[in-house]
């Protein structure tokens, strides 16, 4: 049985848990002195500790040992063109975190009918979901969520750039040379997909158009399918 996991900080070689994490541990999980926990300090350290002292607003745990966790083999940046219902992204943050996306860039395409202020209102919620997902899937660092940007303004520096496009029928991810690739940028379209002009813009930026499926996929399904392929090929 896995230990409960919390976000904490390290101070004087001891683990400190406070705030909402404290509330969840003490008032929800009902943890007590001598109970063991797993802790991520969001700074590359993943620890096993034993609760040694409980105060009204925080508790302290001694460090038993550090867990060695490997980083993903590649760094994945997801340019997700936003659907008109942002609740879809609420549901997508957790699985893309589990599939080792390092950076999520909310992208506004021609088919997006969203106001920038409405997207920005969602940012804090998405960041909170990303942190909670980190505890569930036990990755070292939380998903980074960047400010939204328009598709023509994408400035990708990754060594491999791919866009999944429903009108590309032949070339797939397995056809690309993947040796020595350290970072991947992947662009996924919204409802309605990309138009030809957007594909041209992305190709001029170095993106390679690939086929993802013989079927037309919903945007959120396409995202998970694409990331699963990347995880499989580069793992």
Range of the domain at 31: 5-66
* Residues of the chain under the 50 pLDDT cut: none
Q: What is the pLDDT of residue 92?
A: 95
CATH for 101: 3.40.1280.10
Q: What is the pLDDT of residue 55?
A: 95
* Judgement on whether residues 26 and 120 belong to the same structural domain of the protein: no
* Judgement on whether residues 60 and 105 belong to the same structural domain of the protein: no
Q: What is the pLDDT of residue 188?
A: 94
Q: What is the pLDDT of residue 1?
A: 66
* Judgement on whether residues 123 and 199 belong to the same structural domain of the protein: yes
* Judgement on whether residues 49 and 123 belong to the same structural domain of the protein: no
* Judgement on whether residues 58 and 98 belong to the same structural domain of the protein: no
Strand pairing report for 58-66 and 46-54: antiparallel
Q: What is the pLDDT of residue 186?
A: 96
pTM: 0.89
Which neighbouring-strand residues pair with 95?
none
Q: Is 75 exposed, middle or buried (0-12, 13-18, 19+ CB in 10 A)?
A: middle
Cα dihedral 203/208/213/215 (nearest 10): 10
* Judgement on whether residues 98 and 212 belong to the same structural domain of the protein: yes
- Tell which of 22, 47, 66 closes a domain: 66
* Judgement on whether residues 99 and 53 belong to the same structural domain of the protein: no
CATH for 61: 2.40.240.20
Q: Is 211 exposed, middle or buried (0-12, 13-18, 19+ CB in 10 A)?
A: middle
Number of domains in the chain: 2
* Judgement on whether residues 138 and 208 belong to the same structural domain of the protein: yes
Q: What is the pLDDT of residue 68?
A: 84
Tell me how far apart the alpha carbons of residues 93 and 126 are, in angstroms, rounded to a whole number. 7
Query: What CA–CA distances, in Å, run from 175 to 127, 170, 178, 209?
Result: 35, 9, 9, 12
* Judgement on whether residues 39 and 80 belong to the same structural domain of the protein: no
221: CB partners within 8 A, 6+ apart: none
């Amino acid at each position: 049985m896995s230990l409960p996991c919390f976000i904490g900080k390290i101070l004087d070689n001891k683990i400190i848990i406070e705030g909402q994490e404290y509330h969840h541990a003490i008032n929800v999980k009902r943890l007590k002195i001598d109970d063991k926990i797993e802790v991520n300090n969001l700074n590359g350290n993943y620890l096993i500790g034993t609760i040694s002292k409980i105060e009204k607003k925080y508790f302290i745990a001694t460090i038993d040992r550090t867990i060695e966790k490997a980083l993903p083999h590649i760094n994945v940046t997801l340019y997700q063109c936003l659907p008109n219902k942002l609740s879809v992204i609420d549901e997508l943050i957790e699985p893309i975190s589990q599939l080792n996306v390092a950076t999520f860039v909310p992208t506004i395409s021609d088919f997006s009918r969203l106001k920038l202020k409405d997207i920005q209102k969602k940012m804090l919620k998405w960041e909170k979901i990303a942190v909670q997902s980190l505890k569930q899937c036990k990755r070292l660092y939380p998903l980074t969520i960047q400010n939204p940007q328009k598709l023509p303004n994408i400035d990708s520096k990754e060594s491999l750039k791919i866009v999944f496009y429903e009108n590309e029928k032949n070339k797939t991810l397995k056809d690309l040379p993947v040796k020595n690739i350290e970072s991947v940028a992947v662009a996924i379209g919204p409802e309605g997909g990309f138009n030809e002009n957007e594909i041209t813009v992305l190709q001029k930026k170095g993106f390679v158009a690939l086929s993802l499926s013989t079927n037309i996929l919903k945007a959120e399904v396409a995202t998970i399918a694409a990331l699963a392929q990347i995880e499989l090929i580069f793992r």
